[in-house]
């Protein structure tokens, strides 16, 4: 049994940042990580073409200006290998590895009410007893794979985009199928199309996408960003989504067509994901959204030669950005190649695997390899896998059976001293997640510092506070168009998952202010105890 001040679960961007900060406070802290390498989703999503669709200058740590100055991003949107190199560099640069246990799966965590401690058991039977348990397990880290009839009989290879093999995967001479057209499917399509003998993309829902406008980072641009990095970070902190540029505060409906077209055209060629911020009400008003959606549909049409294929690829069933749009590098153009076919599985659903390939209601697609780019059980998938038991042995899984309940996205009543980083109820996937990670890990660190200074041993969310926060998260979502589409934002990605809106849509700036005032008010919505509630009860009776 190992006794620690804090245990962090997950060695991705969040876990490393939490380790850096908590260790810096002199706490005895370790990270456990189920994989055999650090990096979280960036360790596993090694499919061809995998990139971040937030610019590297923003999708990076801000806690060390030395790190900011010395790291040189090669492209505006970094590839997965480059991001993984960055994470490994950070781990070495700040000597983090010595406190990370790899190949270590948290199987259960039980709250000991009398001691105000968590007892964490790993799959190998190791036990940790800790005051604070920080869950840094990722929001898109529990891959979701379909289970078609006959799957085991398929004679080719099946690979999931989010569990990409560490060995070289070759496509030369192969007939490859990709199921799924979210960001993963859209990113890998043009790359695999160039290498494979034939590529069939199985599409269920056509998705909006904006070209990445990716480019190498020139020495001039690198120098310019580094000279003004602090201002860029400040901008991100004060923006709705944590991106380092000023969003337009105008309404899309307050300008004439020519002006709007000019703004969209400029954003389309430069901003990638930030296109959604061209006007402030794109996600608030359907008529405003229609102007952006119409513009993008026109652009998509221009990119596809065959009118029949075009008709299938242009999204029409949801508002722009109500589902996560993609940022692509040649996705739609890939369908202009002779060796790429689009299979519309809304029209002709997949029926089963056969030894030679995938049968849809139309025909057998003969394939040597099928890639599932079918996404994740988002937000709660990873958090609810282990048995996490709070007061009275209640399982987190049971408490959240009708949807996650948190105060500020950081904790939940009945599970004291449990800290969730970038969890449901926080801006999470609606933000540049790096900004959210840094904001929350620092907030937790300050809370622990205060607790240690004041002799606090138990920190617990109040039931009323979490009910109010869940209601607030819902109210904010109702102001937007997010609930008008089925998406992983609202649990529609997994059959039977509660249909509730999970991230906080009020923006990074508002969320930061809420966290700050919570702390200033002595952590309103939380009870901070100098003795465990259970122990006090025992004394009193």
Footprint of ligand NA7 (CB under 6 A): 140, 146, 161, 179-185, 204-205, 324, 345, 373-375, 488, 493
Indicate the Cα dihedral angle 159, 164, 170, 174, nearest 10°.
20
Classify strands 100-101 and 29-32 as parallel, antiparallel or unpaired: parallel
First to last CA, the chain: 32
Could you tell me the smallest distance in angstroms from the CB atom of residue 519 to ligand NA7? Answer: 29
Nearer to ligand NA7, 276 or 445 (CB): 276
Count CB-CB contacts under 10 A for residue 1. Answer: 7
The answer to whether 144 touches 375, Cβ cutoff 8 Å, is yes
The answer to whether 205 touches 317, Cβ cutoff 8 Å, is yes
The tokens for 325 are: 């749009």
Count CB-CB contacts under 10 A for residue 37. Answer: 16
Phi, psi of 109 (to 5 degrees): -140, 125
Non-local CB neighbours of 416 within 8 Å, separated by 6+ positions: 111, 116, 390, 391, 458, 459, 460, 533
Could you tell me the smallest distance in angstroms from the CB atom of residue 453 to ligand NA7? Answer: 38
Could you tell me the smallest distance in angstroms from the CB atom of residue 408 to ligand NA7? Answer: 22
Nearer to ligand NA7, 181 or 412 (CB): 181
Nearer to ligand NA7, 184 or 329 (CB): 184
Nearer to ligand NA7, 439 or 493 (CB): 493
Nearer to ligand NA7, 181 or 480 (CB): 181
Nearer to ligand NA7, 373 or 435 (CB): 373
| Distance of alpha carbon 56 from alpha carbon 370, whole angstroms | 31
The answer to whether 14 touches 426, Cβ cutoff 8 Å, is no
- Give 101's strand partners: 32
Could you tell me the smallest distance in angstroms from the CB atom of residue 277 to ligand NA7? Answer: 16
Nearer to ligand NA7, 59 or 295 (CB): 59
Could you tell me the smallest distance in angstroms from the CB atom of residue 28 to ligand NA7? Answer: 35
Could you tell me the smallest distance in angstroms from the CB atom of residue 503 to ligand NA7? Answer: 11
Could you tell me the smallest distance in angstroms from the CB atom of residue 345 to ligand NA7? Answer: 6
Could you tell me the smallest distance in angstroms from the CB atom of residue 376 to ligand NA7? Answer: 6
The answer to whether 209 touches 273, Cβ cutoff 8 Å, is no
Cα of 502 vs its chain's centroid, Å:
12
- Which residue's Cβ has the minimum distance to ligand NA7? 182
DSSP assignment string, 470-525: HHHHHHHHHTSSGGGS-SGGGTTTSTT------S--S-HHHHHHHHHHHHHTTSTT
Could you tell me the smallest distance in angstroms from the CB atom of residue 148 to ligand NA7? Answer: 8
Nearer to ligand NA7, 186 or 470 (CB): 186
Nearer to ligand NA7, 16 or 373 (CB): 373
For residue 394, the SS3 value is coil
Q: How many helices (H) and strands (E) does the chain have?
A: 16, 20
Nearer to ligand NA7, 205 or 336 (CB): 205
| Distance of alpha carbon 311 from alpha carbon 347, whole angstroms | 13
Could you tell me the smallest distance in angstroms from the CB atom of residue 527 to ligand NA7? Answer: 35
Query: Residue with structure tokens 């859209």?
Result: 186
Give the angle subtended at the CA of 91 by the CAs of 428 and 6, to the nearest 5°: 65
DSSP assignment string, 44-97: H---TT-B-SS-TTTSS--S-HHHHHH---SBSS-BHHHHHHHHHHHHHHTT-G
Could you tell me the smallest distance in angstroms from the CB atom of residue 346 to ligand NA7? Answer: 8
Please compute, for residue 179, the number of CA atoms within 13 A of its CA located in the half-sphere on the CB side. 26
Nearer to ligand NA7, 23 or 359 (CB): 359
Could you tell me the smallest distance in angstroms from the CB atom of residue 158 to ligand NA7? Answer: 13
Nearer to ligand NA7, 491 or 525 (CB): 491
């Amino acid at each position: 049994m190992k006794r620690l001040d804090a245990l962090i679960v997950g060695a991705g961007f969040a876990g490393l940042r939490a380790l850096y900060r908590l260790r810096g406070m002199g706490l005895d802290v370790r990270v456990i990580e189920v994989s055999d390498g650090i990096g979280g989703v960036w360790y596993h999503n090694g499919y061809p073409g995998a990139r971040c669709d937030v610019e590297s200058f923003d999708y990076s740590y801000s806690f060390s200006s030395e790190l900011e100055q010395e790291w040189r991003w090669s492209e505006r949107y970094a590839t997965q290998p480059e991001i993984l190199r960055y994470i490994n560099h950070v781990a070495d640069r700040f000597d983090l590895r010595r406190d990370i246990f790899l190949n270590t799966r948290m199987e259960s965590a039980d709250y000991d009410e009398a001691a105000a401690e968590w007892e964490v058991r790993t799959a190998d039977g190791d036990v940790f007893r800790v005051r604070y348990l920080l869950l840094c397990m990722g929001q898109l880290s529990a891959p979701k794979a379909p289970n078609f009839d006959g799957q085991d009989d398929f004679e080719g290879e099946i690979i999931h985009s989010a569990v990409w093999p560490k060995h070289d995967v070759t496509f030369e001479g192969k007939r490859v199928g990709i199921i799924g057209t979210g960001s993963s499917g859209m990113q890998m399509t043009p790359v695999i199309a160039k290498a494979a003998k034939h590529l069939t993309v199985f599409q269920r829902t056509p998705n909006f996408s904006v070209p990445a406008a990716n480019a190498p980072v020139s020495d001039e641009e690198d120098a310019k960003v580094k000279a003004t990095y602090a201002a860029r970070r400040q901008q991100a902190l004060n923006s709705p989504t944590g991106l380092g540029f000023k969003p337009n505060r105008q309404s899309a409906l307050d300008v004439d067509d020519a002006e709007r077209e000019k703004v969209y055209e400029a954003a389309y060629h430069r901003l990638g994901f930030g296109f959604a911020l061209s006007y402030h009400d794109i996600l608030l008003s359907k008529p405003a959204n229609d102007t952006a959606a119409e513009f993008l549909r026109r652009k998509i049409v221009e990119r596809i030669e065959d009118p029949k294929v075009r008709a299938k690829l242009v999204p029409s069933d949801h508002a722009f950005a109500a589902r996560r749009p993609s940022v692509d590098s040649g996705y739609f153009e890939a369908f202009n190649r002779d060796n790429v076919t689009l299979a519309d599985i809304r029209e002709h659903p997949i029926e089963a695997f056969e030894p030679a390939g995938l049968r849809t209601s139309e025909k057998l697609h003969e394939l040597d390899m099928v890639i599932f780019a079918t996404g994740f059980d988002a937000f709660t998938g990873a958090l609810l896998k282990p048995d996490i038991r709070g007061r009275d042995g209640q399982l987190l899984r049971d408490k959240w059976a009708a949807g996650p309940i948190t105060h500020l996205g950081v904790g939940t009543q009945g599970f004291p001293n449990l800290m969730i980083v970038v969890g449901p109820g926080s801006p999470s996937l609606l933000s540049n997640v790096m900004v959210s990670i840094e904001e929350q890990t620092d907030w937790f660190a300050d809370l622990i510092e205060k607790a240690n200074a004041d002799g606090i041993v138990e920190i617990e969310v109040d039931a009323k506070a979490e009910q109010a926060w869940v209601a607030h998260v819902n109210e904010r979502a109702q102001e937007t168009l997010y609930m008008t589409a089925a998406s992983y934002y609202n649990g529609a990605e997994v059959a039977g998952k509660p249909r509730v809106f999970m991230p906080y849509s009020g923006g990074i700036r508002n969320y930061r202010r809420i966290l700050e005032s919570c702390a200033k008010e002595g952590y309103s919505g939380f009870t901070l105890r100098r003795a465990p509630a259970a122990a006090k009860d025992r004394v009193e009776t």
